[in-house]
C-alpha cells in the first residue's frame, strides 16, 4: 500500500515537494491556511487588475528544469528572460542606471562613474563564480545529518573562500569598485536575501554571478502566479488534493512518532509522514512548543525585512518604465543600517517598483497600468503598530510621481496595501518577516533549522526557514533536499519494520 504524506502549506516548497513525492509513489494530500495556493507566491485580483503578490522574478531557472525532469513533466509554465535586468534611480537625479546582462553594454552604462568598469566587474564576477561553484554541491544542495557533519563539509570548501565569510558584501564591493553608485547598485542583491549589504557575508556576492552570468532573471508569461497554476494542473493529474482554509493549530503524538495534526476546527489529519512548509522555526515553537523556539529565543534570531507592499492600478500608460525599478535615496549606509530597527523615519523611503503590465498586458485593463511597490520596513518586533501606514503609502506615491513625471494620485483607480501585520496573518510569517530567517553564517547550513524534525522521525520541513534558504529557486532546491532525505530515511525505516514483522 502507498505511504501517505500530509503537507502543511502550499507555498512553492510545499507544491514542488508534493509533486516530487507523488512521482516517487507516495499518496500526497495538502492542508493550507489561506484560501488559495502559492503561499507568498500568490496573486491578488481586484478592480480588473492582477498583481503577483510578492515574487516578481527569479533566477536559477535550471532548478525549475531539474524539478520538471525529476517529476517527469513538461515545464508547466513559460519563462521570459529579462534583459535589461533592472533600473536604479537615486533621489535628486533624473538619471536611471540600467543594468544589462551583457557586460559590454553594462560597461558603457557605467563608464562615466567607474573607470575600467569592465575589467573590475569581470574580476568581481570571477571571484563570485568561484564561491558559487565551490559551495553549490558541498553546502547549498546538501542535506546535513548533524552540526558536526556540516562543519566537516565546510572544511571541504576550498580555503580561498574563507575571507568572504568574514567580509560583508559591501566590503567586497569596496575591494573592486570605487564609485558609490556602482557599489550601491551591485550590492542591492543583499536585499533579495531580506538583509543589507552591510550585514550580509560576501559569500552571497554569488547572487550577482547568478544574475549577470549564470542564468539571469526570469519572469513568467502571464505573470508569476502561472507557476502555481501550472503546478496545480499537474497535481490534479496526480490526484493530489488541497484543503484550503485549513490551519494546523495542534498535533497528536503517537507511540512511534507523530500520529496527526489538528486544524482550527478540531479535525484530525492523519498520515504516515508529514512535511511542514510553514516557517520551520515558527512552527517548531508555535505548534510543537519546543524550548529552543520560544518567542524569546525566536526574537533573538536574525529575521529578514518586513514587507510593506502596495498594489496600484492607474489610468494611463507608462511606456518609459521598466519591469524592475529601484528608487533609492543618497544616504544608503545610514538608511540600511537603521531601517530594520525602526530607528530612521520613513518620510523618504527606499522602494522597489514592478510594473507587471509591461510584460503581461492582461494584468491591467486597456489604457491602464498595474504597479506593485515593495518597501522594506522593520518587522513587528521593532514596529508593531501600522496604524500610520497611509502616511508611508502617500510618501511613496508622491515621491514616485515626481521621479517618473506622472501624477499617480490623480490617476489612481485601485489601491491595496499589505503591511507586516497583514503578511504575518496571511501566511504565519514570524513577526511579519518577509523572507524568513536571515542568512548570517550562524543561521545557514547546519545552523539553520534542519529539514528533519528533532523529535518525530516522521516529520520533515521544506521552505524558506529551513535549508538551504529563501527565494523561489531555494524553495525548489529545498523540496529536492527533503525528498532525498525522505526517500533515503524512510526506505530504511520501512525495511527495518518489515524485517521485524
Ligand atoms: C514581498 C516579497 C517579495 C519577494 N520577491 C521575491 C522575488 O522576486 N523572487 C524570489 O525568488 N523570491 C521572492 N520572495 C521570496 C519568496 O516569495 C519565498 O522565498 C518563497 O515564496 C517561499 O516559499 P515557501 O515554500 O518557503 O513558503 P510560503 O510561501 O511561506 O508558503 C507556506 C505556506 O504554508 C501555509 N501555512 C503556514 N502555516 C500554516 C499552518 N499552521 N497550517 C496550514 N498552512 C500553513 C501558508 O499559508 C503558506 O501558504 C519574496 C518574498 C516577499 C515576501
Instruction: Using the mean position of ligand 1's atoms as its centre, give its distance from the Cα of residue 99 in Å.
Output: 27
Cα(40) to centroid(ligand 1), Å: 3
Question: What does the block give as the cell for 87?
Answer: 533600473
Query: What's the chain's average pLDDT?
Result: 95
Nearest atom in ligand 1 to 31's CA = 43
Contact 60, 210 (CB under 8 A): yes
Taking domain 306-430, whether its CATH number is 3.10.20 is answered by no
Residues with CB under 6 A from ligand 1: 8-14, 31-34, 39-41, 54-58, 247-248, 277-278, 307, 309, 374, 427-428, 434-435, 463-464, 470-472, 475
Q: Ligand 1 centroid to 178 CA: how many Å? A: 37
List the beta bridge partners of residue 375.
308
Owner of C-alpha cell 573607470: 115
Which ligand 1 atom sits nearest the alpha carbon of residue 59?
11
Distance 501 CA to ligand 1 centre (A): 42
Contact 328, 350 (CB under 8 A): yes
- In terms of residues, how long is the chain? 501
Test site for ligand 1: of 19, 53, 55, most ligand atoms within 8 A of the Cβ: 55
DSSP string, 330-362: S-HHHHHHHHTTT-S-SSS--EEEE-GGGT-GG
pLDDT 10s digits, 275-290: 999 999 999 999 999 9
Which tens digit of pLDDT belongs to each residue from 407-427?
Answer: 999 999 999 999 999 999 999
* pLDDT tens per residue across span 70-101: 999 999 999 999 999 999 999 999 999 999 99
Indicate the pTM of the whole model: 0.96
| 4-79+224-301+436-500 and 306-430 in the same fold | no
Give the tens place of pLDDT for each residue, 220-253.
Answer: 999 999 999 999 999 999 999 999 999 999 999 9
Q: What is residue 497's predicted lDDT score, i.e. its pLDDT?
A: 60
Tell which one of 39, 79, 481 to mutate to probe ligand 1, the residue whose CB is within 8 A of the most ligand atoms. Answer: 39
Distance CA 154, CA 139 (A): 7
Give 64 Cα–ligand 1 centroid separation in angstroms: 17
Kindly report the protein residue whose alpha carbon is nearest to atom 7 of ligand 1: 55
Q: In what order do the strands lie in the sheet with 324-328?
A: 96-99, 86-90, 324-328, 351-354, 368-377, 306-315, 412-418
Confidence class for position 467, pLDDT limits 50, 70, 90: very high
Topology given in CATH for the domain delimited by 4-79+224-301+436-500: FAD/NAD(P)-binding domain (3.50.50)
Contacts of 61 (CB under 8 A, 6+ apart): 79, 215, 216, 218, 473
Domain boundaries, the chain: 4-79+224-301+436-500, 104-209, 306-430
Amino acid at each position: 500500500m502507498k505511504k501517505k504524506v500530509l503537507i502543511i502549506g502550499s507555498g512553492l516548497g510545499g507544491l514542488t515537494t508534493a509533486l516530487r513525492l507523488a512521482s516517487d509513489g507516495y499518496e500526497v494530500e495538502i492542508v493550507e491556511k489561506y484560501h488559495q495556493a502559492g503561499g507568498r507566491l500568490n496573486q491578488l485580483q481586484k478592480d480588473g487588475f492582477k498583481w503577483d503578490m510578492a515574487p516578481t522574478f527569479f533566477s536559477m531557472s535550471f532548478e525549475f528544469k531539474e524539478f520538471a525532469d525529476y517529476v517527469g513533466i513538461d515545464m508547466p509554465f513559460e519563462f521570459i528572460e529579462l534583459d535589461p535586468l533592472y533600473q536604479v534611480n537615486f533621489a535628486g537625479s533624473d538619471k536611471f542606471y540600467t543594468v544589462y546582462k551583457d557586460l559590454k553594454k553594462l560597461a558603457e552604462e557605467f563608464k562615466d562613474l567607474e573607470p575600467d568598469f569592465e575589467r573590475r566587474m569581470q574580476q568581481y564576477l570571477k571571484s563570485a563564480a568561484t564561491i558559487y561553484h565551490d559551495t553549490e554541491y558541498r553546502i547549498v544542495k546538501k542535506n546535513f545529518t548533524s552540526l558536526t557533519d556540516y562543519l566537516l563539509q565546510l572544511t571541504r570548501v576550498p580555503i580561498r573562500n574563507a575571507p568572504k565569510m568574514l567580509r560583508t558584501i559591501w566590503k567586497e564591493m569596496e575591494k573592486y569598485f570605487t564609485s558609490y553608485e556602482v557599489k550601491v547598485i551591485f550590492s542591492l542583491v543583499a536585499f533579495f536575501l531580506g538583509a543589507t549589504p552591510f550585514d550580509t557575508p560576501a559569500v552571497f556576492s554569488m547572487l550577482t554571478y547568478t544574475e549577470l552570468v549564470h542564468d539571469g532573471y526570469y519572469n513568467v508569461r502571464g505573470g508569476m502566479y502561472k507557476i502555481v497554476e501550472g503546478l496545480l494542473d499537474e497535481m490534479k493529474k496526480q490526484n493530489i488534493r488541497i484543503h484550503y482554509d485549513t490551519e494546523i493549530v495542534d498535533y497528536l503524538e503517537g507511540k512511534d512518532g507523530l500520529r496527526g495534526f489538528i486544524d482550527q476546527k478540531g479535525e484530525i489529519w492523519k498520515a504516515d509522514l508529514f512535511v511542514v512548509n510553514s516557517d520551520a522555526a515558527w512552527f517548531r515553537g508555535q505548534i510543537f512548543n519546543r524550548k529552543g523556539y520560544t518567542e524569546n529565543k525566536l526574537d533573538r534570531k536574525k529575521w529578514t525585512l518586513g514587507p510593506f507592499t502596495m498594489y496600484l492600478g492607474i489610468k494611463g500608460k507608462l511606456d518609459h518604465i521598466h519591469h524592475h525599478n529601484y528608487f533609492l535615496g543618497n544616504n544608503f549606509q545610514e538608511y540600511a543600517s537603521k531601517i530594520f530597527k525602526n530607528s530612521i523615519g520613513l518620510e523618504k523611503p527606499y522602494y522597489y517598483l514592478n510594473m507587471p503590465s509591461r510584460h503581461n498586458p492582461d494584468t491591467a485593463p486597456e489604457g491602464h497600468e498595474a504597479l506593485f511597490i515593495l518597501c522594506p520596513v522593520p518587522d513587528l518586533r521593532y514596529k508593531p503598530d501600522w496604524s500610520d501606514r497611509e502616511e508611508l503609502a502617500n510618501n511613496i506615491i508622491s515621491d514616485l510621481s515626481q521621479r517618473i513625471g506622472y501624477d499617480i494620485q490623480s490617476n489612481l483607480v485601485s489601491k491595496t496595501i499589505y503591511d507586516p501585520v497583514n503578511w504575518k496573518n496571511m501566511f504565519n510569517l514570524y513577526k511579519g518577516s518577509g523572507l524568513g530567517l536571515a542568512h548570517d553564517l550562524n543561521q545557514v547550513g547546519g545552523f539553520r533549522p534542519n529539514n528533519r524534525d528533532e523529535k518525530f522521525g516522521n516529520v520533515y520541513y521544506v521552505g524558506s526557514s529551513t535549508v538551504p534558504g529563501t527565494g523561489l529557486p531555494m524553495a525548489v532546491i529545498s523540496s529536492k533536499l527533503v525528498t532525498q532525505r525522505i526517500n533515503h530515511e524512510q526506505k530504511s525505516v520501512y525495511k527495518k519494520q518489515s524485517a521485524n514483522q
